A and B are shown apart, each in its own frame.
Chain A
Amino acid sequence: MAVLYERRFEPYDGALTSRWARRLVIPRYAMRDILRSRMALITFVAGFALPAVSAAVIYARHNATVLELLGQGFVDQVSIGTEFYTTFLVMQGWMTFVLALVVGPPLMARDLSDNALPLYLSRPISRLTYGAGKLAVLLVPLSAITWLPVLLLSLLQYGFDGAPWWQEHGHAVPAAFLASWALILPLSMVTLALSSLVSRRWVARGLMLGAVFVSRGMAEAINAVLDTRWGYLISPTRVVGTVWNQLFGGSDLLTLTGGPTLTPLSGWIVLALACIVSALVIASRIRAYAEVRS
């Protein structure tokens, strides 16, 4: 450790970290901030409750002692297949939303409100590195409670039942993987875009809640007034439900109200548009300077 009481300015000629290590600095610091926030930490840990219960159920279905206690009916009731993954993702989907709601809004807002971007961008990192770093901070924890547990649970189930289970239900695993990304990628990008636009985190959270709940009511109103079903295009839950419905090959659980649904293509287009618009908004906000137009 150097002597700290001396006032001195010394050039640095020592070793530098690699470009990849520098790229990880932003997500590393942001993740540490998340873990310091009690609310974020509680939400993140709560996101592992269902995967833990699911793992326990899978184990219980293959444990003779537990089966003796619970009876064979338990095995018949809980089947690890499409229905299981759909239920799992619907429940984790809401958990994902809550986690994004807690973690997302401050991500860029605090850099922008304190004008820290010139300091980031005057260093050897690009705008893309900054944006990707911030996005990773959302994608990593959201992945940890969606597709990662899906894969681990599938591996566990495969370990117990082997190839016969895979042949019968294996198609649900890639579907669940894609369904997870169809949720977490647009959600992360929209959250980050909101964070870049709204400096107050509570306002950003309000907007996110409004986008999910108010838009459902508005969609129903549009459908009723215009006698159409395209009003659902503004409802994120309906759009994601439509896309998941296609991926899982149709499920009553995902149509929610059982009413008319969107076409899967329109759902994918809305999700893609959400990502593109968000990316454009984020890119326009990552600036080292304010451009003054005359």
Chain B
Amino acid sequence: MQDLGVRLGGRPILHDLSAELSGRALGLLGPNGAGKTTLIHTLLGFHRPSAGTAEVLGHDIRDRNDARALRRLVGYMPERDSFIGDMSAVRFVRLMGELSGLPPRVALERAHEALIAVGLGESRYREIRTYSLGMKQRAKLAQAIVHGPKLLFLDEPTNGLDPAGRIRMVRLVQQIRDSGVTIVLSSHLLHDVEQACEEVLILKDGRIARHCDLAAERKTNQRFLDIEIRGDRQAFAAAVAELGCQVALHGRSQLKVITPAEVTVRDLYAAAAANDVHIRRFSHRRDSLEDIFLAAMGITAGPVAQQGEGTGDRASSGTLSPTDTHAAVVADSSTEAS
């Protein structure tokens, strides 16, 4: 996307969006009204950009023919209920397959496959209007994948689902992602995005508030350690620093440590043993997507305790800052080491 802007009904919805999205699975995050759905619609060619441009899979979305060619390569699962109620699921998915250019026989075969893949094999001959909400969502997913798209836009796929349905839907999305399909998942549910995506674009008021690589983020987080000890803290800090780590003391018995790639947890335990220090608690700091999201939204829950090291952050504004409240999040999900 290059300076992409969209106006609807005379009102600017998206402003100056510039980003290169290359990850396998992209999460589109933002509060309601941030412009997530509008961005998906624009990338599908439903809206003409009022400024700038965007290319999807090498197709220029401003060019009508290019946009049509692009729509052959993508699948789309809209946010709202979308189906033809008095059609059986298999006929509905077949119709969508044929509209995407599949020959009738192939479309029928793939409609069966898609419905079985999303777990509707037993009920694929039922009319869709008789389906539960979760089944309708899965039927929507089936129609989006029936033609074997290279890119899949999923707009709030877990909307309205109960916890079990949500877990099932996220698993399906993970399976599709792992089969090599590029995913663009729009959601305001951070957990879903965290589970299914490797790259995140956070929108706020139609602008990019944050663009970061979750995979790199997770990798970096593995190098942040929060350690609580009993014993000579200064001596242990010096020993750890000698290993090449950056160390900061906090509290009465705690240390925050950033380890270089070659230093392992075993080295830290060896340093502790050498200084007669007992490690009581040991946790990897986990910078959750919630923290990233809150930071992007400009919502901070407490003073900054320590500046994070170079993360996968690609944002042009805002920095990824672990906060004091963060420690509480960490405590819940940390690995107790002693």
Interface residues of A (CB under 8 A from B): 1-2, 4-17, 22, 25-26, 29, 110-111, 113-116, 118-126, 288-289, 291-294
Contacts and interface: CB of A to CB of B under 8 A. Distances in A.
Contacts of A8: 113, 117, 179
Interface of B: 8-11, 37, 41, 44, 46-47, 68-69, 71-72, 74-76, 78, 80-86, 95-96, 98-103, 106, 109-110, 112-113, 116-117, 121, 129, 143, 145, 147-150, 175-176, 179-181
A292 B41 CA distance: 14
B116 A7 contact: yes
A288 B79 CA distance: 12
The winner among B72, B86, B95, B180 for most chain A CB atoms within 10 A is: B95
B87 to A, nearest CB: 8
A18 to B, nearest CB: 9
Contact of B99 (A5, A6, A14, A123): A123
Contact of A124 (B68, B80, B181): B68
Contacts of A125: 99
Nearest to A287: B46
Nearest to B38: A289
A14 B148 CA distance: 10
Given A118-B80, A122-B71, A291-B8, 8 more contacts: A5-B121, A9-B145, A11-B148, A12-B106, A111-B84, A115-B81, A124-B100, A288-B46
Contact of A10 (B46, B82, B179): B179
Given A11-B150, A119-B76, A4 B98 contact: no
A22 B99 contact: yes
A7 B117 contact: yes
The 7 closest A-B pairs by CB, nearest first: A12-B148, A16-B101, A122-B76, A293-B9, A11-B148, A9-B179, A123-B99
A124 B82 contact: no
Contacts of A126: 68
Contacts of A294: 9, 11
A7 B175 contact: yes
Contacts of B121: 4-5
Contact of B103 (A15, A119, A122): A15
A1 to B, nearest CB: 7
Given A8-B179, A22-B101, A124-B72, A1 B9 contact: no
Q: Tell me the dominant secondary structure on chain A's binding face.
A: loop
B110 to A, nearest CB: 7
22 contacts: A5-B121, A9-B179, A9-B181, A11-B181, A14-B102, A14-B103, A15-B103, A16-B72, A22-B99, A25-B95, A29-B95, A116-B84, A118-B78, A118-B82, A121-B46, A122-B75, A123-B72, A123-B100, A126-B68, A291-B9, A294-B9, A294-B11
Contacts of B83: 114-116, 119
Nearest to A121: B46
Contacts of A118: 46, 76, 78, 80, 82
A96 B11 CA distance: 46
Contacts of B8: 291-292
A10 B146 CA distance: 9
Nearest to B181: A9
Contacts of A16: 72, 101-103
A113 B85 contact: yes
Nearest to B94: A29
A2 to B, nearest CB: 6
A283 to B, nearest CB: 15
B6 to A, nearest CB: 12
A88 to B, nearest CB: 36
A116 B86 CA distance: 12
A5 B72 CA distance: 27
A120 B85 contact: no
Contacts of B147: 12
Contact of B109 (A1, A6, A293): A1
A200 to B, nearest CB: 13
Nearest to B103: A17
Nearest to B115: A4
Contacts of A7: 116-117, 175
B71 A123 contact: yes
A3 B120 CA distance: 16
Contacts of B96: 119, 123
Nearest to A10: B148
A22 B11 CA distance: 35
A12 B101 CA distance: 11
A115 to B, nearest CB: 5
A116 B175 CA distance: 26
A111 B96 CA distance: 13
A17 B71 CA distance: 14
A16 B74 CA distance: 14
Contact of A110 (B71, B75, B85): B85
A124 B101 contact: yes
Contacts of A120: 99
A138 B145 CA distance: 31
